[in-house]
C-alpha cells in the first residue's frame, strides 16, 4: 500500500518585469517509499510419528513489504507535474532531488518534498514521482487541484442543515461541525489534524462561530442610510443587536372622540347640529342671522400597553448551521 498526501500552501509571487501580483502555490508531496519483496520459507522435514515416514514440507514463496533504503533502492527522486488531460506536456519539473532534499526518513520510509510556484488553474493536475532521474519507470502518481479550484467547499463555508444537532455530530468525520461556538482546541486531533486546526483558526479564530438563534446577513462594504445595512463593512461574525427602524405614526384627531370638535350655527336651516351629529336646536329659537361659534379644548395624549409576542422576526423555518472545518 502506498500512502501519499499532497498539502497546499498559498504564497505571493511578484512577476518579473511586471507590477502584477499573482498567487502561486506550494504543494507538499508526502508518501512512503516501500517495495514488495519475494521471500522464501525453506523446505522443512518433520520426522514421522511412531516409526512412520518423514513428512517434507516444500519451500513456499511469499510477498513481503519492506521500507526502501538508499543507495540500494534509489539515489535521487524526481517529480513532474502535468495537466491531467495532457500527460504528454510537462508543466513543472523538480528533478534529481537527493534523499536529504526530500526529507527521506530511513526508519519509516517517508519523504516530504515541497513543489513550489504552481500557478492557480481550474484544471486537475497530476504529479508523477520517479525514483530516478526521470528516465526510468514511474513509482507512483497523484492527482490534485490548486486551492482556488478545489471542488469542495472552502474552509469556513457555512451550510444550513435540515437535521438535528445529534444528526450533525455524525458528519464531523467528513469535516462538517455544528456552529455552536466550541473551542477548536477541544476537537480531537484524530478528527481534525493539528495542521488543519491551524488553517481553520486562521479563518475563524480560536472558536467555531456560534450561530444558534441567529440570522445571517451579507456584509455591506459601503453602509449608510441608503444601503441595505447602515453599518458599513462589518467584521465577519459581528452580531448586530435587535432593532426596530425609526418611524412615525399619524393621528387624525378630527375623527376621534378625544379630539377637537366644532359647532356651526347657520340661519335658515331646519336644525342645528354639533360636529358629532347631535341635534341641539331648530330654527324656532333662532333670532339672529347666520353666524358661527368656535369651541376649543385641550387633548391629552394617552397610551396603553400593546399586545404581541416577545420577538420581532420574519416568517422562518429552523435549521442547524454547519461549518466546513477542513478540506
In tens, the pLDDT along 106-118 reads 999 999 999 999 9
Within a domain: 102? yes
Q: Which residue has the higher pLDDT, 6 or 115?
A: 115
Task: Based on the fold, state whether residues 81 and 189 are members of the same structural domain.
Answer: no
Task: Based on the fold, state whether residues 73 and 161 are members of the same structural domain.
Answer: no
Q: Distance between CA 12 and CA 205 in Å, rounded?
A: 23
pLDDT at 2: 53
Place of cell 472558536: 207
Task: Based on the fold, state whether residues 126 and 24 are members of the same structural domain.
Answer: yes
pLDDT band at residue 314 under the 50/70/90 scheme? confident
Please report the sign of the dihedral spanned by the C-alpha atoms of residue 47, residue 52, residue 58, residue 62. negative
Q: Retrieve residue 78's grid coordinates.
A: 524526481
Within a domain: 293? no
pLDDT band at residue 17 under the 50/70/90 scheme? very low
Task: Based on the fold, state whether residues 82 and 97 are members of the same structural domain.
Answer: yes
Task: Based on the fold, state whether residues 145 and 163 are members of the same structural domain.
Answer: no
Residue finishing a domain among 149, 184, 206: 149
pLDDT at 171: 94
Instruction: Report the DSSP pairing between strands 279-282 and 271-273.
Output: antiparallel
Task: Based on the fold, state whether residues 124 and 15 are members of the same structural domain.
Answer: yes
How many domains, in total, are found in the chain? Answer: 2
Residue finishing a domain among 149, 173, 193: 149
Within a domain: 142? yes
What is the pTM for the complete model shown?
0.49
Alpha carbon separation from 242 to 80, 225, 239, 322 (Å, rounded): 57, 17, 9, 23
Residue 119 structural domain: 4-35+69-149
Instruction: Report the DSSP pairing between strands 138-144 and 44-46.
Output: unpaired
Which of 157-161, 216-220, 277-281 is least confident?
277-281
Tell me how long the chain is.
Answer: 327
Q: Distance between CA 143 and CA 83 in Å, rounded?
A: 9
Residue finishing a domain among 102, 122, 149: 149
pLDDT band at residue 322 under the 50/70/90 scheme? very high
Task: Based on the fold, state whether residues 82 and 203 are members of the same structural domain.
Answer: no
Within a domain: 104? yes
Q: Distance between CA 289 and CA 145 in Å, rounded?
A: 99
Within a domain: 278? no
Task: Based on the fold, state whether residues 29 and 93 are members of the same structural domain.
Answer: yes
Within a domain: 310? no
Task: Based on the fold, state whether residues 205 and 321 are members of the same structural domain.
Answer: yes
Q: Distance between CA 8 and CA 146 in Å, rounded?
A: 8
Report phi then psi at 236, rounded to 5. -60, 130
Supply the DSSP symbol for 183.
B
Say if residues 115 and 127 touch (Cβ distance below 8 Å).
Answer: yes
pLDDT at 289: 58
Q: Retrieve residue 124's grid coordinates.
A: 486537475
Q: What is the CA radius of gyration of the chain?
A: 41
Q: Distance between CA 300 and CA 226 in Å, rounded?
A: 37
pLDDT band at residue 317 under the 50/70/90 scheme? very high
Within a domain: 64? no
Task: Based on the fold, state whether residues 140 and 161 are members of the same structural domain.
Answer: no
The mean predicted confidence, pLDDT, of the chain is: 82
Amino acid at each position: 500500500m502506498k500512502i501519499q498526501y499532497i498539502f497546499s500552501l498559498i504564497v505571493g509571487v511578484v512577476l518579473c518585469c511586471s507590477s502584477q501580483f499573482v498567487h502561486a502555490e506550494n504543494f507538499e508531496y508526502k508518501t512512503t517509499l516501500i517495495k514488495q519483496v519475494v521471500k522464501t520459507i525453506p523446505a522443512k522435514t518433520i520426522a514421522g510419528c511412531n516409526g512412520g515416514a518423514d513428512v517434507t514440507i516444500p519451500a513456499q514463496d511469499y510477498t513481503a513489504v519492506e521500507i526502501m533504503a538508499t543507495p540500494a533502492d534509489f539515489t535521487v527522486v524526481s517529480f513532474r507535474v502535468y495537466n491531467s488531460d495532457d500527460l504528454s506536456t510537462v508543466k513543472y519539473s523538480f528533478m534529481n532531488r537527493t534523499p536529504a532534499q526530500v526529507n527521506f526518513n530511513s526508519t519509516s520510509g517517508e519523504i516530504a518534498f515541497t513543489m513550489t510556484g504552481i500557478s492557480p488553474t481550474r484544471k486537475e493536475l497530476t504529479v508523477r514521482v520517479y525514483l530516478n532521474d526521470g528516465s526510468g519507470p514511474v513509482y507512483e502518481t497523484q492527482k490534485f487541484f490548486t486551492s482556488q479550484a478545489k471542488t469542495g467547499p472552502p474552509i469556513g463555508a457555512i451550510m444550513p442543515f435540515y437535521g438535528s444537532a445529534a444528526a450533525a455530530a455524525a458528519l464531523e468525520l467528513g469535516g462538517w461541525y455544528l456552529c455552536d461556538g466550541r473551542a477548536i482546541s477541544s476537537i480531537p486531533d484524530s478528527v481534525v489534524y493539528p495542521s488543519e486546526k491551524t488553517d481553520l483558526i486562521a479563518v475563524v479564530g480560536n472558536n467555531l462561530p456560534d450561530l444558534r438563534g441567529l440570522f445571517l446577513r451579507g456584509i455591506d462594504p459601503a453602509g449608510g442610510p441608503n444601503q441595505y445595512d447602515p453599518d458599513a463593512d462589518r467584521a465577519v461574525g459581528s452580531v448586530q443587536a435587535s432593532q426596530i427602524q425609526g418611524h412615525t405614526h399619524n393621528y387624525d384627531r378630527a375623527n376621534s372622540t378625544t379630539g377637537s370638535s366644532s359647532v356651526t350655527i347657520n340661519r335658515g336651516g331646519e336644525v342645528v347640529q354639533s360636529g358629532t351629529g347631535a341635534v341641539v336646536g331648530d330654527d324656532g329659537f333662532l333670532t339672529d342671522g347666520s353666524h358661527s361659534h368656535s369651541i376649543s379644548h385641550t387633548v391629552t395624549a394617552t397610551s396603553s400597553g400593546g399586545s404581541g409576542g416577545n420577538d420581532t422576526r420574519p416568517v422562518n423555518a429552523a435549521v442547524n448551521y454547519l461549518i466546513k472545518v477542513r478540506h
